[in-house]
Amino acid sequence: MGIVTAVPGTSSAVPPEASVVVQDPLVIFDGGKVTTTEQEIAPLAVKEREEVTRFVTTSPDTIENPTFWSSPAYEYDLGNLVASVSTDSSSFTYGQILITPIKGWIRYPMKSVSPTPPGQYPVIVFLHGQHTPADPNYRGYDYLAENLATHGYIVLSIDANAINADGDQSGQSRAQLVLGTLDRLRQINEHGQVDKNGNAGALNKLKGKFDFERIGIMGHSRGGQGVANTIKFNKNRRGASYAGLAVALSVNPTKYITAYPDFADVFIPKTAKTVVSLDEEKFRAAIAKYNIFYAEGSDTASPYDFRAAFLLAPTDFGGNKDLNGVPLAALLPTCDGDMLNLQGAISYDHNRFGNGSDTATRYQIAVQGANHNYYNTTWINDDFSTTAGPGHCMANHTDTIRVSDEDQRRNGLYLINSFMRYHVGGEQQFASWWNGMAQLPEAACPVGRGPCDERVILTIQRNEGQRKLIQHFASAESLSINSLGGPVTSTGFNNLARCDMPDGARSAGNCSPARIAGFEFNSWGGSGLRSIAEHAELSWTKAGATITNDLLGTSAAPHDTLSFRIAVVRPMGQEVLVTLTDNVGKEATIEASDFSGALYNAPKTKAEGRPMIDDPIDKPYSTGQVKMLLNMVAIPLKAFAGIDLNNLKELKLTFPKDRGKVALADIQFQTLGRDQFGPRMVAVQNKNSKAQ
């Protein structure tokens, strides 16, 4: 039961008459499953050499080829949930009861351009963060919702303002609100939306239309922490009860009187001969009037099938750990002035490997020039603008990296919606970007003009079956013995340290022999290295410093990519020469900057001598205000031409710049699916063949 009304001014978006979905014209790879689009790549008549490039295609955008009309946005109010608030963000010990409305906006596909529309639609849930409770924060993602609805998704954005007003920092009640909202929708899916008299509501037409086996969840800021907790609590629910609500009201009888006045007199006062007692009749009447229900526990509710979780500039107050079994993405806006310390980097590092049975991929997305607020259209203030000092991101700098609110949402529309459509909807046309092999579409770039791949740095971590660690830096011996058991040698470094990953959310790991200056981790600040993964810290003052791993004849098969994570600390840009040598002495060297934007701490392309030459315009950035993150460099193994990849002798990383400080982590072979896409073939005209 509840009230659902159409929101004026949100009438349906109409797709164009021609709505033929154009698939990526390449073979698509997705976690071991290979499918082929209708368009095949014709074999070249002449193939004398292969050019292995960073990108093999350009991703389609998320705007083109809508296949449905979107409903208008509907404002729903489906009752009130009794949830529990924790006093901490890690063990989630019992705190108190909280009542939160089940309210928000919902959009859904209305009419398909296809004569045979699907019977059910995937479900996407958005959860906003801790902003002014008086503002309609949940309405700020409607640009995402409308776009998804036109491509066949039911999308709802949850109103969590009652939790904002209550101040639950643990995120437990936010998780219960997400799960409680899905419980209400599951009731609608099974029984329709009707009132007590049997009158159909506006959502009654969605009976049987929700596909609860395909759900995606996105949380922004503290909503991100709420989404992390949703994953954890999904299989181990924490419930609330009638008795718990009664106890909470007896302990704090005035807390809910403003919003729920009928609770004011549900207790019979004590007399000389009696104690305070509950007036059961009045209590039940108030519960019925306010359409109250209770967060379910594991004994009464079955878990939901989450196919994707997106943490948008999330908080991580207690350690968003053990987020297993769900493809997970953490977006880090490098000009975030609210989450200045980019706590989402901590969430990513704590969860990047998962457990042995976990097959889900993890992603970190660093977006250069984005702030915290502009992904939500209701949050109109620039959260970075009041930050003191010249700053890495300040708009008054000559060569600012900042983007406008419109450009930031344009980029967010692609990143968030393509992630959901790929992982929740199984839309393979987006696989190429999320596997690190496609350029961003122009629609995702500032003012809709590309290329702009230097704006977004994608880090991918495959599961245990799709990776082979070479050097993990997880043990005290890892600077001398790698994960394969081979020796490691380092030459030319002034300082070398290995740092642990801390258990906590806001602390730096211990480093041996000591953390190097410039890498300092300020738990509440924006300077220093923001990533916390196990890593090595390196500094040198003479070109040619080298770290070499003995690979002991290891085969790279069945993997297709050599990857490592690197954070550039000083100066703004670095080069890494990556050399593979096989057991017969053949070697090949690749410039890492040819395959990654991770080697420069600003959104700049490899040009004008960069990254080997320091750009004078970057001098104001050199005072430690750059957001330093461990980002991925991924080099296709086929780029190492002439090497026997089945019998490898050593891997050497050389730093050719005359000085520098970097952090290094997670050197490994990974399977990203590049072989299924194939290298871009370059035909070299053969005069003899032509003559014949």
User: Same structural domain for residues 228 and 343?
Assistant: yes
Q: How large is the C-alpha radius of gyration of the chain?
A: 27
State the number of CA atoms in the 13 A half-sphere of 562 facing the CB.
25
Q: pLDDT per residue over 147-200, tens digit each?
A: 999 999 999 999 999 999 987 777 889 999 999 999 999 999 999 998 878 899
Question: Any idea what the CATH number is for the domain that residue 547 is in?
Answer: 2.60.120.260
163 and 75 part of one domain: yes
Nearest alpha-carbon partner for 208 in 181, 190, 183: 190
**Residues 443 and 482 grouped into a single domain:** no
> Does 102 reside within a domain?
yes
User: What angle in degrees, to the nearest 10, is found between the helix axes of 222-235 and 172-191?
Assistant: 60
Read off the CATH number of the domain in which 175 is found. 3.40.50.1820
Q: What is the mean pLDDT of the chain?
A: 88
Q: Report, as an integer, the average pLDDT of 586-594.
A: 98
Which positions ≥6 away from 546 have C-beta within 8 Å? 489, 490, 491, 492, 652, 653, 654, 655
Structure confidence at residue 72 (pLDDT): 96
Judgement on whether residues 289 and 303 belong to the same structural domain of the protein: no
Q: Does residue 201 sit within a domain?
A: yes
Task: Give the E-state strand segments of 393-448 in sequence order.
Answer: 438-439
User: Would you say residue 10 lies in a domain?
Assistant: no
Q: pLDDT tens digits for 26-75?
A: 333 333 333 433 333 333 333 334 689 999 999 999 999 999 999 999 99
User: Quick one: three-class SS letters along 144-173?
Assistant: HHHHHHCCCCEEEEECCHHHHHHCCCCCHH
Which has the minimum average pLDDT: 157-171, 336-350, 571-585?
157-171
Confidence of residue 395 (pLDDT cuts 50, 70, 90): low
**pLDDT exceeds cutoff 60 at 480:** yes
Confidence check: pLDDT of 535 > 50: yes
Of 388, 436, 427, 371, nearest to 597 by C-alpha is: 436
Q: Which H/E stretch holds residue 333?
A: strand 328-333
Give the per-residue pLDDT at 271: 80
- Nearest 5°: the CA angle 213, 226, 145 is 60
Contact between residue 663 and residue 536 where contact means Cβ atoms under 8 Å apart: yes
Mean pLDDT across 219-232: 96
Is 97 inside a domain boundary?
A: yes
Give pLDDT, residue 598. Answer: 95
Residue 363 to residue 368: CA distance in whole angstroms: 16
Total domains in the chain come to 3
Which is more confidently placed, 27 or 411? 411
For residues 339-367, average pLDDT: 94
Indicate the pLDDT class of residue 453, thresholds 50, 70 and 90: very high
Residue 613 predicted with pLDDT over 60:
yes
The answer on 359 and 272 residing in a single domain is no
Q: How many CB atoms lie within 10 A of CB 322?
A: 13
Does residue 624 fall inside a structural domain?
Answer: yes
Q: Kindly report whether the peptide bond that precedes residue 571 is cis, defined as omega within 30 degrees of 0.
A: yes
Q: Are residues 473 and 410 in the same domain?
A: no
If asked whether residues 437 and 485 sit together in one domain, one would say no
Do 231 and 277 reside in the same domain of the chain?
no
Q: Of 427, 461, 495, which residue constitutes the final position of a domain? A: 461
pLDDT above 60: residue 1: yes
Tell me which residue range forms the domain holding 207: 64-240+297-461
In a domain, 48, yes or no: no
Burial of 164 (0-12, 13-18, 19+ CB in 10 A): buried
**Sign of the CA dihedral with 406 first, then 411, 414, and 416 last:** negative
Mean pLDDT of 102-111: 96
pLDDT tens-digit series, residues 229-244? 999 999 888 888 899 8
Q: Sorting pLDDT into bands at 50, 70 and 90, what band is 352?
A: very high
Q: 613: exposed, middle or buried (C-beta count within 10 Å: 0-12, 13-18, 19+)?
A: exposed
Both 133 and 202 in a single domain?
Answer: yes
SS3 for 264? Answer: helix
Nearby residues of 581 by Cβ (< 8 Å), 6 or more positions away:
587, 643, 648, 649, 650, 651, 652
% of the chain surpassing 70 pLDDT = 87
How high is the pLDDT of residue 167? 75
**What are the pLDDT digits (tens) for 108-147?**
999 888 888 899 999 999 999 999 999 999 999 999 999 9
Instruction: Map residue 580 onto helix, strand or coil.
Output: strand
Residue 351 has pLDDT above 70, yes or no: yes
Least confident of 61-65, 357-361, 520-524: 520-524
> What confidence score (pLDDT) does residue 620 get?
66
- Let me know whether 122 and 224 are in one domain: yes
Same domain (yes/no): 185, 224:
yes
| Closest listed residue to residue 367, CA positions, set 397, 415, 334 | 334
**pTM: predicted TM-score of the whole model, two decimal places:** 0.92
Q: Report how far residue 576's alpha carbon sits from residue 592's, in angstroms, rounded to the nearest whole number.
A: 5
If asked whether residues 289 and 305 sit together in one domain, one would say: no
Q: List, for residues 635-685, the tens digit of each pLDDT value.
A: 999 999 999 999 999 999 999 999 999 999 999 999 999 877 644 433 333
Facing residues of 536 across strands?
498, 664
Collect all residues with Cβ–Cβ distance below 8 Å to 564 and sequence separation of at least 6.
Answer: 632, 633, 653, 664, 665, 666, 667, 668
Q: What confidence score (pLDDT) does residue 25 get?
A: 35
Would you say residue 14 has pLDDT above 90?
A: no
By the 8 A CB rule, do 367 and 312 touch? Answer: no
Which DSSP category does 202 fall into?
A: T
Residue 25: inside a domain, yes or no? no
Q: What token pair was written down for 207?
A: 């009976």
The answer to whether position 321 is within a domain reads yes
